[in-house]
Chains A and B, each alone.
Chain A
């Protein structure tokens, strides 16, 4: 009898030890992963606050003493960094406005209205997401040249006003979850399709619109190949393109380099931290389709 109790105690104890060991393992791995994710940032931040001499010191110190805050002023003085920042903001803002508006309109058509060919067209829309961008750069470049759009922001901004497959898909999925009864009730009250869209669907779809807005903002903020191909004069550069000019230096000043990178990273991080709920819910909405190159 006592034997049995002891052995039971033992197995309870064993289970407890196992559970604690599991907890420890999970937390160790979590911390390890966090370190791996954050070390590059810490190194960048630390370098950005070093003097020219400190950058080349061995062994390198993680905490620059004294921190050279002036680096962050110098990047704005040495290059038209502020102009690039403004350009990036402008392009991102116009794209955001255009894409949210147009994608919502198109998504409403796909989600709520019945017409011949709708399913075929929706399939075409989805398959455009599979077309590799590289196939289109040559003809688009030629086309924008004919339009006289080269070295303007138009090649980036104007296409946004025709909706993007990803945003349309995401919004359509959300619109489908709104009860159809609401549309019918609006119809009985004499509302047309446009009014139903503006007064009923849009206000109810705020979370999805928010998600689309954030995805769009992020993707234009990070875009490098577009500006690289279409913009040629320095005063029209966006931030990623401006950052790239540092790389072309013969004697790279790594501290300024890193300070500039930090500046380019700050805005998306802040936006992400503020709006992460939209982000996560948006990704959940498209399920496995939740990524945008």
Chain B
């Protein structure tokens, strides 16, 4: 039976063979996805309806975790800190990244070396750089306050112990750390802009600034869009700095969401509550991402789009 089918339609069995091989080749990922991602994801949803301390049996409590969350002032504080930090940090990262990319897209000597230097902070372990910056920000012996004292005769502030300064201090660190990564992303964006556009602008006598705002920026908008989304997710992932440097202080001014949730797992053993918070924030991030996507058609320019319209 099988043989005769093969003789009649050899291409079909060939197709089938390819199909089976395809599934076999991707099976490691499918298994891993089910065990390490999908399973935990569903389990997180289930856990958010339970009260559990790792020791006693989990107790179903319905929506009580979520009710508690809405009344938890520190939870809202952690969201406020995370979002307000993101509103500073993400645009700043974009501006510095574009600036560095434009700088490193010029014809200068030793270009490769400059790029390597700018990229260097990206590859370092965050714990090491966090310790490094703790020492830089040290109020008495740190390099910044020593510089302020010896050059301007100003007694510098305690950067990480000041409620108003702690987030800006974190931001400087983060921009320093991510500049190289953003630079490289924008660099590839810059290099894909066709030279003809600039030549045409030159013919029209456009100034550098006009070229930047009317050519470079619109052409970079898909990259900026990408950077906006990844930057937002990065902010919600921020952990080592508050954990190592400030423990959320002073007065919860650096109480980032991830760190706050982590406390409920490692110190208070309230797993269900931690799961509920993480689920809520996951949905929040998804909504934010969808909003950014929706708004993108208004300000992101895709070259392919225009081509498509021309063809019609």
Compute how far the CA of A264 lies from the CA of B281 in the bound complex, rounded to whole angstroms.
Answer: 33
Residue A140, interface by CB 8 Å: yes
Evaluate contact between B21 and A113: CB separation under 8 angstroms.
Answer: yes
Min distance, Cβ B159 to any Cβ of chain A, angstroms: 14
For B141, list chain A residues within 8 Å (CB): 55-56, 58, 60, 254
A139 to B8, CA, bound (A): 52
A54 to B121, CA, bound (A): 27
Asked whether B28 lies within 8 Å of A27 as measured between CB atoms, the reply is no
Report yes or no: B133 in contact with A34, Cβ–Cβ below 8 A: no
When C-beta atoms are compared, the residue in chain B nearest to A101 turns out to be B28
What sequence of 0s and 1s flags, for each residue 173-213 of chain B, a beta carbon within 8 Å of any chain A beta carbon? Answer: 00010010100110011000000000000000000000000
**B65 vs chain A, min Cβ distance (A):** 12
Asked whether, in the complex, the Cβ of B279 is within 8 Å of the Cβ of A135, the reply is yes
| Residue from B29, B121, B129 in contact with A102 in the complex, judged by beta carbons closer than 8 Å | B29
Evaluate whether A222 and B125 lie within 8 angstroms (CB atoms) in the complex, with A55-B141, A134-B278 already known.
Answer: yes
Q: Is A2 an interface residue (CB 8 A)?
A: no
Are A222 and B135 neighbours in the complex by a CB distance under 8 Å?
no
Q: Chain B residues with Cβ under 8 A from A36's Cβ?
A: 176
On whether A109 and B136 interact (CB within 8 A), knowing A134-B261, A244-B127, the answer reads no
Residues of B within 8 A of A240 (CB): 125-128
Given contacts A40-B176, A113-B25, A288 and B189 within 8 Å (CB-CB): yes
Contact check, B237 vs A39: say whether CB atoms are below 8 A apart. no
A residues less than 8 Å from B289 (CB atoms): 130
In A36-87, the 8 Å CB interface with B consists of: 36-41, 43-44, 47, 55-56, 58-60
Q: At the interface, is chain B mostly helix, strand, loop or mixed? A: helix
Report the bound CA distance from A222 to B229 in whole Å: 23
Q: Is the CB of B125 within 8 A of A224?
A: yes
Would A115 and B18 be within 8 Å (CB), given that A132-B236, A135-B282, A264-B128 are in contact?
A: yes
Q: Does A12 contact B (CB under 8 A)?
A: no
- Could you say which of B20, B22, B119, B281 contacts A134, with CB atoms under 8 Å apart? B281
Interface residue ranges of B260-311 to A (CB < 8 Å) = 261-262, 265-266, 271, 274-275, 278-279, 281-282, 285, 289
CB contacts (< 8 Å) of B28 on chain A: these are 102, 105-106, 161-163
- Given A58-B146, A240-B125, A283-B184: A108 touches B25 (CB 8 Å cut-off): yes
What's the Cα separation between A239 and B131 when bound, in Å?
Answer: 13
Of chain A, the residue at the smallest CB distance from B273 is A138
Give the shortest distance, in Å, between B28 (CB) and chain A (any CB): 5
Q: Give the distance in Å from the alpha carbon of A225 to the alpha carbon of B222 in the complex.
A: 31
In contact, A33 and B100 (Cβ under 8 angstroms): yes
**Distance (Å) between the CB of A289 and the closest chain B CB?**
8
Partner-contacting stretch, out of B37-45, B69-77, B83-91, B163-171: B37-45
> How many A residues, CB 8 Å from partner?
91
Report B210 CB to chain A, min CB distance, Å.
Answer: 16
Q: Given the complex, which residues of A lie within 8 Å of B32, measured CB to CB?
A: 102, 159, 161-163
Q: Are A142 and B233 in contact (CB under 8 A)?
A: no
A residues less than 8 Å from B40 (CB atoms)? 135-136, 139-140, 143
Q: Which residue of B lies closest to A116 (CB)?
A: B19
Max chain A CB contacts within 10 Å: which of B30, B112, B128, B257?
Answer: B128
A142: chain B residues within 8 A (beta carbon): 43, 47, 54, 271
Q: Which of B145-173 contact A (CB under 8 A)?
A: 146, 149-150
Q: 16 A-B residue contacts at CB 8 Å?
A: A26-B108, A34-B118, A58-B149, A102-B28, A113-B18, A124-B33, A132-B236, A133-B237, A162-B35, A162-B36, A224-B125, A240-B125, A254-B141, A276-B119, A283-B188, A291-B181
Q: A162-B36, A254-B138, A269-B120 are in contact. List 8 more A-B contacts (CB 8 A).
A: A37-B118, A105-B28, A139-B275, A244-B127, A257-B131, A268-B123, A272-B119, A283-B185
**Chain A residues engaging chain B, CB cutoff 8 angstroms:** 26-27, 29-30, 33-34, 36-41, 43-44, 47, 55-56, 58-60, 102, 105-106, 108-110, 113-116, 118, 121, 124-125, 128, 130-143, 145, 159, 161-163, 168, 193, 197, 218, 221-222, 224-225, 229, 239-241, 243-244, 246-247, 254, 257-258, 261, 264-265, 268-269, 271-273, 276, 280, 283-284, 287-291, 293
